[in-house]
Amino acid sequence: MSFFEAFKFYKRKSPIPDLSSVVDTRDPEFNELLQSFNKQERKLPACFGLRSPETWKISEFKNHPGLIIIENPFTSQGERYWVTRCLRDFPKHPNRTNLNTHKLPEDARKDFWSFLGNVQCGKEHKKLRSCLRWSTLGYHHDWDTKVYSETEKHPFPEDLSALTIFLGEILSFRDFKAEAAIVNFYPQGSTLAGHTDHSEIDLKAPLFSISFGQGAIFLIGGYSKEDPATPIRLHSGDILIMSGASRLCYHAVPLILHGCLDTWNDDSSFSEDPKSAEMDKDVWNKCIDESFWTPFNQYISDCRINLNIRQVLSEGLTNL
């Protein structure tokens, strides 16, 4: 199927699409489509809520050179930490969100998670929760012009920047610098239409895409919507990297899945999980408290979060 046809196929509600051809890197049936990716051999410490890099399974797709997947390298506490940051902190003012398009009180637009917590669970709570669809960090992506601007920029989160530098070191993208991010929030039934990411000055730098919560079908094609597409199943904690030839390919999310494993609730290693100096110590300690974690757990038990991090400037540039 072409990318255009595949998006329509997996997006449809009735009849429910057949998922038997969706590539799941955890299923040995699809091993012939993958090749091992040679990660940094130098021993690196476990940090940022990640397991030791020596234990990671990293693969590259043979038919999409440069498309790399790390099967959930996060510990349970690591998943909880980043979910908390995505929901509680990243949508806060002055970061940009889509909430200005809704008739919401100013408090909701400035601190959405706190406002949501004061709304009683039920239809009103679920409706309000579904209002949040994206937040931008660092250089704010302009959805209309597709152009970044120095006047639309705020400090990039230190912990997220340090996480991607660490990942870049392991994957030999040592010059990567996180300068912009889009946090996408996917309630059940939502999609992301086919597109390419070409707004950045440096189009050779990789894109890091991290999934949390419910799984999704990620669709990637070629440089035209008529090119064949590959459907890939993403699980919570998976990190997908678009680099090289795959960097400018069409991609989309036609389907959010439900009933995925709650890997974030495995408390067997909470006391041993590694963090780093850049991480928020308060969030790190609180996220294993079940009374604190409950509302976050309720959200990702039904929804998906995607962190998409990119470099805007070419090496050596300090501004646009």
Q: What is the pTM of this model?
A: 0.96
Give pLDDT tens digits along the chain (320 positions).
Answer: 999 999 999 999 999 999 999 999 999 999 999 998 877 666 777 899 999 999 999 999 999 999 999 999 999 999 999 999 999 999 999 999 999 888 899 999 999 999 999 998 888 888 999 999 999 999 998 888 888 999 999 999 999 999 999 999 999 998 999 999 999 999 999 999 999 999 999 899 999 999 999 999 999 999 999 999 999 999 999 999 999 999 999 999 999 999 999 999 987 767 666 779 999 999 999 999 999 999 999 999 999 999 999 999 998 888 88
CB neighbours (10 Å) of residue 306? 22
**Which region holds residue 182: left if phi is over 0, alpha if psi is between -120 and 50, else beta?**
beta
Which candidate, 242, 186, 202, places its Cα nearest to that of 219? 242
Cα dist. 98→82, 207, 254, 303 in Å? 20, 22, 20, 17
